[in-house]
Amino acid sequence: MEWTDQGIVLGARSHGESAAIVELLTREHGRHLGYVNGARGKRLAAVVQPGNTVAATWRARTDEQMGTFGLEGVALRSGALMASRLALYGLATMSAHLRHLPERDPHPALYVAAEALVSHLDDPDLAPRLFVAFELALLAELGFGLDLGRCALTGAEDDLAWVSPRSGRAVSRDAGAPWADKLLPLPPFLTARGRTGEGAQDPTPEEIALGIALTSHFLERAVFAPSGAQAPPERLRLVGLAVATAASRSEA
């Protein structure tokens, strides 16, 4: 058995004197483990660091075996990520989130969101909004996608301002007004018009906080609580740092 794919390094644990068990999120083969001989040697030590993108060739005699990886670096960004607290918290949170996925279950759309996130985790202007987008993609891949494209009550696509905490469907400002105290705020940057419409602007710190609150609600309800898990502690640190960083940059 053999395949070749692109993947993001999520983690590596030492195995023996020079090898490691490496965990990747691959584009076509999902979250996958493999044995890497010489992973702690000079050639590969810098490649198997979390956050790097690699070209991976997996080999095994049968599908049931863990198999071995042959790895080549594609984007070695771990050095830049390690220099940023925001990036370190984001990478740890992303990896913890991805472990809720069944191993070897392909999620190409989620891979795209994860690749976009790790490519900009050290950018305080982009990382917070990409983190929210990644969590929305995660929810969708786990079967709990939010419908933020049109109003659940009227079908309108304009002036979407709320989200039902039960159905995850958007509601327009006027239609949702009678139930505003029971609905979750929908920040404009998460709507289609807010992302691409005329006059679209970068989200404010308040909107970032609302976006994180939105994904927090559905992650807790659909992912953490049913499995008896808790949000990764790094996520709490990431949220606080992301909002504080956005606020300080908006004031500058």
Q: In the chain, what are the domain boundaries?
A: 2-76, 81-148+186-251
pTM passes above 0.75: yes
d(CA 47, CA 98) in angstroms, rounded, equals: 20
The predicted structure's pLDDT at residue 202: 82
The pLDDT of residue 195: 54
CATH code for the structural domain at 2-76: 2.40.50.140
Mean pLDDT, the chain, integer: 92
Per-residue confidence band for 245, with pLDDT thresholds at 50, 70 and 90: confident
Tens of pLDDT, residues 108-148: 999 999 999 999 999 988 999 999 999 999 999 999 999 99
Strands 19-26 and 30-36: antiparallel
Question: pLDDT per residue over 57-85, tens digit each?
Answer: 999 999 999 999 999 999 999 999 999 99
pLDDT per position as a tens digit, 82-110: 999 999 999 999 999 999 999 999 999 99
Looking at the chain, the whole-number percentage of residues with pLDDT higher than 90 is 85
Residue 242 confidence class, pLDDT cut points 50, 70, 90:
confident
What is the predicted pLDDT for the residue at 108? Answer: 96
Distance CA 156, CA 196 (A): 17
User: What pLDDT score was predicted for residue 200?
Assistant: 47
Q: What pLDDT does 196 receive?
A: 44
Determine the pLDDT at residue 252.
60
Q: What is the pLDDT of residue 231?
A: 92
Per-residue model confidence as pLDDT tens digits over 148-200: 999 999 999 999 999 999 999 999 999 999 999 999 999 999 987 655 444 44
* pLDDT at position 198: 47
pLDDT digits (tens, 9 = 90+) for 168-179: 999 999 999 999
